[in-house]
Amino acid sequence: MTAAPALADPTPSPTPSRPSVSPSPSGARAPEGATAREDDGKGVGRGAPRRPPVRMSTVGGEMLGRPGPQVQLGPGAPELPKELSGRSWLVADAESGEILAANNAHWQLPPASTLKMLFADTVLPKLPRTKTHRVDPSDLEGMGAGSSAVGVKEGSSYSVHDLWLGVFLRSGNDAVRVLASMNGGIPKTVKDMQAHAEDLQALDTHVVTPDGYDADEQVSSAYDLTLFARSGLQKADFREYCSTVSAQFPGEEKPGKPRESFGIVNTNRLLTGEGMPGGMPYKGMAGVKNGSTTNAGNTFTGVAQHDGRKLLVTVMNPEIQEQYEVYKETARLLDWGFEAAGHVKPVGMLVPPKGGAAGGKGGAGKAGGDHSQASVASSGSGGMWTAVGIAGGAVAALAAGAFVVHRRWPRPKG
């Protein structure tokens, strides 16, 4: 077994109830009009600190609290890809929760629109998909300048189903604002999201806006974003929306005229193939969410399946400033993960929600570097991710025709 050298004193610090927030060096918001560029591939992440903390949270394993790449290669395991510039990234088995490799997994960084995964996981179960809402001007108040939008219009009615398509496909902050209004308003929604993050043990996350728009002290981590994706993918509607490639969105309602609709396409390039080599989507890609803002740079969490194995990869803020770099690095890590699975010793675990495994070793701080402990997860089952349907080309056609995952929480020892 080999392990990447730690870049700091490997002695772990106690896991705090909430790691300290790392605001932008200037303490100021990014310039208006450039803070919510969705998927332009050119985010520079200038609001983020340049180096990770010497010690970070050890939720999920002691090795995850160390800066720099963490991997434990066994016989037959490939080396990590060389062209990786993401300030933070993580590769995990979606079923067992084993983390195959990570880099600065708990570095608190601006999340951009990947925070919408937490928004959806929090709010989606509360609103029936058939419920409709007529948009009041107050619903869209306070939306940040330059925000990505799907085209929600004041005075027009939309179903919850339509609005979620706007959130996932076009990263529409306007759709987020309307759904938040239906949930009781922005302050309540932010409070709900923060509480849900804490329930998921996503303690690196501090929520300020529900849509991921740049704000002082709004941070998350590759570890937390992966927890949000894994939790969200337990929900059938979440899986449907995040895997939808294209859809029709209702246009503005005008008196005396029939309502028209217009097409929207998912901005997840690994799902659509747009801008990727050969124009092809990543094989087996099934979601979940991308984002780009001035402070965050480009962020992405994706899930894919090859030959029955399902992997989650999160990449935050690649330093290489090439278009679509975050997708290229995600694809490299997915390729590596599918080849390395079974040949590496886990460096940590994705912990269960509070109460998910009472007394289990999957809790904070002790999983990383203990293979026998990490592998306990493969024997239990905490529910099923039922198949993602394939309908009319609107949903990504997976190689196996379905995406079925068992979420496994670690069982208590003894």
- Domain spans, the chain: 2-406
- What's the pLDDT score for residue 91? 98
Helices (H), 301-343: 325-340
Residue 147 among the catalytic residues: no
CA 99 vs CA 61, 111, 174, 209, 362: distances in Å? 9, 20, 35, 29, 12
Whether 1 has a pLDDT exceeding 80, the answer reads no
List all residues 6 or more positions away from 190 whose beta carbon is below 8 Å from its beta carbon.
207, 208, 209, 210
CA 113 vs CA 58, 125, 140, 253, 276: distances in Å? 25, 20, 17, 28, 21
User: pLDDT digit string (tens) for 347-382?
Assistant: 999 999 997 643 333 333 333 333 333 332 332 233
- What's the pLDDT score for residue 47? 53
Where do we find the tokens 């905490």?
Answer: 382
- pLDDT above 90 covers a percentage of the chain that reads 71
- Per-residue pLDDT, averaged over 178-203, amounts to 98
- Per-residue pLDDT, averaged over 129-148, amounts to 94
- What's the pLDDT score for residue 397? 35
Whether 27 has a pLDDT exceeding 80, the answer reads no
* Residue 285 Cα to chain centre, angstroms: 14
Out of 3.30.230.10, 3.40.50.300, 3.40.710.10, 3.20.20.70, which CATH number does the structure's domain 2-406 have? 3.40.710.10
- What's the pLDDT score for residue 355? 76
Q: Letter for the amino acid at 137?
A: P
Whether 336 has a pLDDT exceeding 80, the answer reads yes
CA dist., res. 311 & res. 308, Å (int)? 10
The model's confidence at residue 50, banded by pLDDT at 50, 70 and 90, is confident
Instruction: Of 211-225, 231-245, 374-388, give the lowest mean pLDDT range.
Output: 374-388
Q: Following DSSP, what letter does each residue of 335-347 receive, concatenated? A: HHHHHHTTSEE-S
Total-model pTM: 0.81
Whether 15 has a pLDDT exceeding 90, the answer reads no
- What's the pLDDT score for residue 114? 98
Whether 265 has a pLDDT exceeding 70, the answer reads yes
Q: Letter for the amino acid at 363?
A: G
CA dist., res. 158 & res. 132, Å (int)? 5
- What's the pLDDT score for residue 289? 98
Q: Which residue is catalytic, options 22, 116, 220, 231?
A: 116
* 49 token code pair: 């600190």
What phi and psi, each to the nearest 5 degrees, are found at residue 30?
-70, 160
Whether 401 has a pLDDT exceeding 50, the answer reads no
What phi and psi, each to the nearest 5 degrees, are found at residue 188?
-65, -40
Residue 313: which of 345, 285, 277 has the closest Cα? 285
Residue 113 among the catalytic residues: yes
Residue 191 among the catalytic residues: no
- What's the pLDDT score for residue 46? 52
Asked whether 164 and 192 are in contact (CB, 8 A), the reply is: no
The model's confidence at residue 12, banded by pLDDT at 50, 70 and 90, is very low
- What's the pLDDT score for residue 48? 55
CA dist., res. 301 & res. 330, Å (int)? 8
* 6 token code pair: 């730690």
Handedness of CA 317, 323, 324, 329 (dihedral sign): negative
- What's the pLDDT score for residue 286? 95
- Per-residue pLDDT, averaged over 273-282, amounts to 94
Whether 168 has a pLDDT exceeding 60, the answer reads yes
Torsion angle of alpha carbons 406, 121, 116, 199, nearest 10°? -100
Q: Which residue is catalytic, options 24, 88, 148, 171?
A: 171
CA 299 vs CA 30, 84, 114, 317, 380: distances in Å? 17, 14, 7, 6, 31
Asked whether 301 and 329 are in contact (CB, 8 A), the reply is: no
Burial level of 378, CB count in 10 A (0-12/13-18/19+)? middle
Question: Greater confidence, 372 or 103?
Answer: 103
- Per-residue pLDDT, averaged over 138-161, amounts to 95
What phi and psi, each to the nearest 5 degrees, are found at residue 306?
-130, 120
What phi and psi, each to the nearest 5 degrees, are found at residue 323?
-60, 135
- What's the pLDDT score for residue 390? 25
- What's the pLDDT score for residue 201? 98
Q: Which residue is catalytic, options 57, 113, 181, 221?
A: 113
